[in-house]
Structure 1
Amino acid sequence: MVTATPNSSCYVYAALLITDDTVAASDKPRQHLFSLVLSFPTSIHDVMVHTHAFTNTPPVIDEVVAFWGSMAHSGSKDQPMQIFATSIETFPWADLDDSSYMTKVPSGCPVMVISTGVVETDCVNRIFILGGSIYGNGQQNVFRFKIWIPNTPRWACLPLPTSGQTVTVRGEIYGRDETGILTVMLHDIQLQARAAPSSSTPATPGTPSPKRARRSTRRSNVQLLEEEGVAEAGPSGTTGAGAGTLVGAMNVLGTNAT
């Protein structure tokens, strides 16, 4: 079972010729599985494409149709590319019976891909492997492909991605190598910044400011009276509980004044 990769995605736009159409089941007439073939002008290794789509007006065999949706491919030589289509674009202005039909539709256009995933290997010769997973047909599906960073002045200052880093790329699928993994020519890339380690400064105990220290040395009238011995007598000159209070001290002051 494939484990979901957080924050990963892989979307493609592919205009391909339909070679077969299979309905999933008699009770699901809208669910189609289209078979297509992806060819590369610079590679002899074609890729079988299975596109899952829901439609009431399915295209016909030998018609060129553009699909937009999520793409999965594990990089295996024997596994077909899976596209879980969210939209289908047809080209009704072109007549299928026209001998020049293929010149009037976008056949042979490269498959465009926009993907966010995790770098699986460090760059070697400006090539790294990007991987992740997408959801389709009730399960998680893996995608893996090589990204080639062109060695041109535009990319001269680009920091090369490192293993474990999350990146978003946009490019075109232009071939596959002998192992079966698809290769993407880079058009744009966004590197996710790594979180910097947090530097914590140990807390130091606070010290009172000089102003606060001066205030703490001030004494109230009650304290002054206690130091002079006045607080030992109550309002009538006798000791009592009221002598230690502010009211008692004021009474003592009033008695002494008279």
Structure 2
Amino acid sequence: MATTVVSLAGCSALPTLTLPAFPAPAAAPAAGTTPTPWRPSPTVTAAPTAVPGGAAAALAKLPVKGRAPRTGYMREQFGAAWADVDHNGCDQRNDVLARDMTNETFKPGTRNCVVLTGTLKDPYTGRTIAFTRGQGTSEAVQIDHVVALSDAWQKGAQMLSADSRVRLGNDPLNLLAVDGPTNQSKGDGDAATWLPGVKSYRCSYVARQVEVKAKYGLWVTQAEHDAIAGVLAGCPGQKLPPDSTVAAR
């Protein structure tokens, strides 16, 4: 999945956006039943909700349905990359770089918003990557949508409001700084087709996918559900990741 690099020359505070509560997802069908096929429904205008509990419990509550058509999908359906949805004055790419890397340096005059250099311990490959901002070097570290936007589109996001899709596309919960080539190879794969090479990270990875899908009212296919359940069987106590915005800098 390709990632667009956007640099902000400066930062300024933006007004807080308050959105209504998101409806809870329906329970998954019982074992042995046929997944409900996808059917169009009216646009949902709602904000995401917090998801309590462990990953396995949250997975059990996700609807299991067939994949919807990809028709109409465009990256722009999820807003500009990278919008400052948490209103801290910094764009989401730089927020995530600063959150996930160590030894960061920042462009002067940007209030520590624009990351120039840093060190990433890549969760997908286990490699340590030295990041340097610039043409031909920034691509070494990309920002992955843990739930790929094309996958989200085919599993409920096309029925969300434009505001909700912008939030999904820029939510720090759904973003990780990772090895660039590995991010490209993942593409828009779900857990049934792609998992991190570092097996010890897979439990955390699928737990994050489950929380994102529950938070935004998305569903999983049967194959995806089974793949996630298989991973979580090896870590039955796996918790959902903390869902918090990046603090203002």
What TM-score does the superposition give when structure 2 sets the normalisation length? 0.21
Whose helix proportion is higher, 1 or 2?
2
Which of structures 1 and 2 has the larger relative contact order (alpha carbons within 8 angstroms, sep 6+)?
2
Scaled by the length of structure 1, the TM-score of the pair is: 0.20
The structure with the largest strand share of the pair is 1
